Chain A
Amino acid sequence: MFRNQYDTDVTTWSPAGRLFQVEYAMEAVKQGSAAIGLRSKTHVVLGCVNKANSELSSHQKKIFKVDDHIGVAIAGLTADGRVLSRYMRNECINYSFTYESPLPVGRLVVQLADKAQVCTQRSWKRPYGVGLLVAGLDESGAHLYYNCPSGNYFEYQAFAIGSRSQAAKTYLERRFESFRDASRDDLVKDALMAIRETLQGETLKSLVCTVAVVGVGEPFHILDQGTVQQMIDAFEIVAEQEGPAAEPDTEAGQEASAEPEPEQGAAAGEGVAPMDI
């Protein structure tokens, strides 16, 4: 990246009218592992790639339940993401307590964006280094928002953030028109395919990804490993039948992941359970 004399402080403008510290914060988001989100009229699905540092450690939690009707996936500095999730949870609880109704998603993202903006205009603070995909349901339907460290937020039909997210975005751009009326299962399948795009050749296993769903009549929850693996297996079988040009290692990967999966599922259940909510 460029080093220049206007990037020491977040409160210093460059002559071109840029705040470099904020842009560097957005870079941090691009370095994090991928997170994707997509929505239909009635459901929103979040997915992310979970890479553990080593085989010995558990993976970082990147999807957080904020309330029954809102969840968030993060990319970037996960510690910042954790803190912001706690803030979001508190806001939802306080709103529910006062108004006895769920906090509309649009309000929450504005509050989040304002919180991020504060950090871009104080010399003793630094911007949050995390991008958030906020998925939620309220009276006006299903929503997916992206909050960035700059304090901006946008609503999306589908989006991907983090490293190698461009591959997922390309896939989503091809398919997004079908999302609006897609069924819940199709939406989850599309999310898994988008995640696979970011893996770039690596086999897609339920161990490396996390998927969460929120929808009408379905409170936000993270799908368990078994369900995710079943869906992966289901569409990989279809892919093989349709495309003999599919890589041979998908088949091998499928068998390899099917056998150790029960043990890993149990072991992962112990290690992963405290993280999953």
Chain B
Amino acid sequence: MTKQQANWSPYDNNGGSCVAIAGADYCVIAADTRMSTGYNILTRDYSKICKLADKCVMASSGFQADVRALQKQLAARHLIYQHQHNKQMSCPAMAQLLSNTLYYKRFFPYYSFNVLGGLDNEGKGCVFTYDAVGSYEKVGYSSQGSGSTLIMPFLDNQLKSPSPLLLPAQDAVTPLVEAEAIDLVKTVFASASERDIYTVNKLELVIINAAGIRREYMELRKD
């Protein structure tokens, strides 16, 4: 008798891509706004970006139901932190919390591919990239999601940062200025939307700098 296979999966992939780039005093986090299932479109206008703390924003692609549950978990934990410590969580602290939260469900993971971006305690941009079970690394830039195979090589070409394993430790942030980084992100998504059917419709950008957080939108191919 052959082994019975599952005829139902608890997961689905809603597609989409996210990118984050860290600068000397800013951080750009971007994601497209299409939510799909299979070859169908669920909606053209869904935000994959979530503000977790004053200086910390997360973009996630993958299974949006798990993403939403993860966002709520982190928001609740952040509230508890604020009650106990009387201040907002810093981006590195949130990065560790996200890693722990993901690993907590190591044996029934959140199907969520995250990039966390923000400013650290000194006001420098930082980006953390994750896999689905919480393995993370501080980097200068990253992309996740269905378009990441198209986007990441291009970012590597433009922004290649020194390995964090090098000694002496070298800065992982990109030398670009904010406007250049935003331009790069727009270019990268415009390219990805040419060939990835899931990374389309609209691009949502969130830019964090010392002045605060602002949001920008750019139209992409809609097919």
Contact = CB atoms under 8 A, between A and B. Distances in A.
Are chains A and B native binding partners rather than an unrelated pairing? yes
Interface of A: 65, 86, 89-90, 93-94, 96-97, 273-274, 276-277
Nearest to B80: A93
Interface in B79-126: 79-80, 82-83, 86
B83 A89 contact: yes
B41 interface: no
A145 B6 CA distance: 54
Contact of B86 (A89, A93, A277): A277
Contacts of A94: 76
Contact of A273 (B76, B79, B82, B86): B86
B160 interface: no
B76 A277 contact: no
Interface residues of B, number: 7
Nearest to B85: A274
Nearest to A98: B72
- B76, B83, B86 interface centre (most CB from chain A within 10 Å): B83
Interface in B57-80: 72, 76, 79-80
A89 B79 CA distance: 9
Majority SS of interface residues in chain B?
helix
B76 A89 contact: no
19 contacts: A65-B83, A86-B83, A89-B79, A89-B80, A89-B83, A90-B80, A93-B76, A93-B79, A93-B80, A94-B76, A96-B76, A97-B72, A97-B76, A273-B86, A274-B86, A276-B86, A277-B82, A277-B83, A277-B86
A277 B82 CA distance: 9
A89 B80 CA distance: 8
B79 to A, nearest CB: 5
- The 5 A-B pairs at the shortest CB distance, nearest first, are namely A93-B76, A97-B76, A277-B86, A89-B83, A93-B79
Contacts of A273: 86
Contacts of B83: 65, 86, 89, 277
Contacts of B80: 89-90, 93
A93 B84 CA distance: 14
Contacts of B86: 273-274, 276-277
A270 to B, nearest CB: 13
Nearest to A86: B83
B189 to A, nearest CB: 31
Nearest to B82: A277
B38 to A, nearest CB: 28
A118 to B, nearest CB: 24
A253 B86 CA distance: 32
A97 B72 CA distance: 7
A97 B76 CA distance: 7
Contacts of B76: 93-94, 96-97
A89 B86 CA distance: 14
A277 B83 CA distance: 8
B69 to A, nearest CB: 10
B84 to A, nearest CB: 9
A97 B83 CA distance: 16
B70 to A, nearest CB: 12
Given A86-B83, A93-B79, A94-B76, 16 more contacts: A65-B83, A89-B79, A89-B80, A89-B83, A90-B80, A93-B76, A93-B80, A96-B76, A97-B72, A97-B76, A273-B86, A274-B86, A276-B86, A277-B82, A277-B83, A277-B86
Nearest to A67: B79
A90 B83 CA distance: 10
Contacts of B79: 89, 93
B82 to A, nearest CB: 8
Contacts of A96: 76
A276 B76 CA distance: 21
Nearest to B83: A89
A89 B83 CA distance: 8
A236 B165 CA distance: 65
A65 B82 CA distance: 11
Interface in B11-30: none
A86 B82 CA distance: 12
A247 B86 CA distance: 40
A163 B6 CA distance: 67
Interface string B118-143: 00000000000000000000000000
Contacts of B82: 277
A252 B82 CA distance: 40
A94 B75 CA distance: 11
